[in-house]
């Protein structure tokens, strides 16, 4: 049972990271764009996006709390610990995905503000 929970948690993290990475790359209309300057601007916008607070820790804490409460309602102390662990993993993955989405939004808004037509 414990092994299944670990596998499920790792799959959740992998899926969240994959979705976050997929959505982060901006697509622009390249018509009339100096691509060398674009690369400089993307790097500057990505640097600005590093200011986004990391939400994985917050998500893990919330997930552990919710999982622990569910375990308390549904079972014994062992269930509470397992449920809190699963909740922490799922919450951490969700928080990481939220952080990446927010960073992606910052980069895209930054590029728009610099005059690029961002298509996604």
In a domain, 51, yes or no: yes
Residue 11 domain flag:
yes
Q: CA 14 to CA 91: how far, in whole Å?
A: 13
pLDDT band at 73 (very low <50, low <70, confident <90, very high): low
pTM (two decimals): 0.54
In-domain check, residue 94: yes
Cβ-based neighbour number of residue 32 at 10 Å: 6
Tell me if 118 is assigned to some domain: no
pLDDT at 20 exceeding the cut of 50: no
Residue span of the structural domain in which 20 resides: 2-113
Per cent of the chain over pLDDT 90 is 36
18 within some domain = yes
Angle at 64 between CA 7 and CA 21, to 5 degrees: 55
The 10s digit of each residue's pLDDT in 76-117 is: 566 556 655 666 666 556 667 788 899 999 999 999 999 999
Report if residue 108 sits inside a domain: yes
What is the tally of structural domains in the chain? 1
- 119 lies in some domain: no
């Amino acid at each position: 049972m414990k092994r299944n929970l670990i596998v499920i948690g790792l799959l959740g993290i992998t899926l969240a990271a994959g979705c976050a990475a997929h959505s982060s790359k901006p697509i622009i209309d390249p018509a009339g764009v100096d691509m060398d300057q674009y690369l400089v601007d993307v790097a500057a916008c990505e640097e600005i996006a590093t200011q986004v607070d990391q939400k994985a820790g917050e998500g893990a804490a919330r997930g552990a709390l919710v999982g622990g409460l569910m375990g308390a309602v549904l079972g014994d102390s062992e269930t509470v610990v397992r449920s809190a662990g699963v909740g922490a993993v799922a919450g951490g993955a969700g928080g990481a995905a939220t952080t990446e989405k927010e960073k992606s939004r910052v980069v895209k808004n930054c590029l728009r503000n610099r005059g690029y037509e961002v298509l996604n």
